[in-house]
Amino acid sequence: MTPPNPPILIPHGDDADTVETGIDAVPEGNWIYLEWRGNTEGDLAGYIVYRDTLPTPAFFPLTQLIQDTFYLDQNVTLGITYFYTVTAVDSAGNESTRGNTVQYALKPKPTLLDPLENELRPQGEIIFRWELDLENDGYFIVKVFSSGKDSLIQMSGVEDFFSNPGEFSDTLTLPSGSYRWRVDYGIRLQNIGSESSYRRLTLQ
């Protein structure tokens, strides 16, 4: 039988996009999330994720057979670049060739300073503050989401900070409501970054 087509991994999207796609950091932990386009073969049994840390990857299986079209790699080390590829397997056990390769390296998360968790503030201009000791030139984006939902309400512009470790801030104007917010860090033209944990904020 003919093996399935190789899956296509989705590369890292623009951090300033309203909807995030592709390989990325996640706010829940020091983990890497990756996703791929699902195969259309009717006898598809699942996928196998492969990973390596070499610039010319040899690849080793990271998973057994899985049915999802995404995977959360929770066994990563900060600063290490990981390379991923995925294969598809049919019900007869035929495995496809490897698909494309994507890569990502996690950096330390920004530490949120202000507003505090569950703080109540008047609506209007809110100053968001955080800190991070930068090892490289990078940028930050403050992202504010509706509370309990994934819909992005507002985000700051991409702001570059060059070799300036320490404390940072940005200001957004928000109406009354309940929100979750975080700070994303990245390095331009490189699949390197992190996403802070969320904090909750209520404005009246």
- Nearest CA to 154 among 142, 167, 139? 142
How many Cα atoms within 13 Å fall on the side-chain side of residue 55? 0
Label residue 163 by pLDDT band (50, 70, 90): low
For residues 180 and 204, is the Cβ–Cβ distance under 8 A? Answer: no
- In sequence order, the 6+-apart residues with CB closer than 8 A to the CB of 78 are 30, 106, 107, 108
- All CATH 2.60.40.10 domain ranges of the chain, comma separated, are 8-105
pLDDT above 90: residue 148? no
Return the pLDDT at 133: 84
What is the pLDDT of the chain when averaged over all its residues? Answer: 92
- All CATH 2.70.50.50 domain ranges of the chain, comma separated, are 111-203
124: left (phi over 0), alpha (psi -120 to 50) or beta: left
Write the DSSP symbol of residue 151.
-
Return the pLDDT at 189: 84
For residues 135 and 107, is the Cβ–Cβ distance under 8 A? Answer: yes
Return the pLDDT at 48: 98
116-127 tens-digit pLDDT: 999 999 999 999
29-54 tens-digit pLDDT: 999 999 999 999 999 999 999 999 99
pTM beyond cutoff 0.85 = yes
**Can you name the residues that pair with 33 across neighbouring β-strands?**
24, 72
Which CATH number is associated with domain 8-105?
A: 2.60.40.10
Domain 111-203 annotated CATH 2.70.50.50: yes
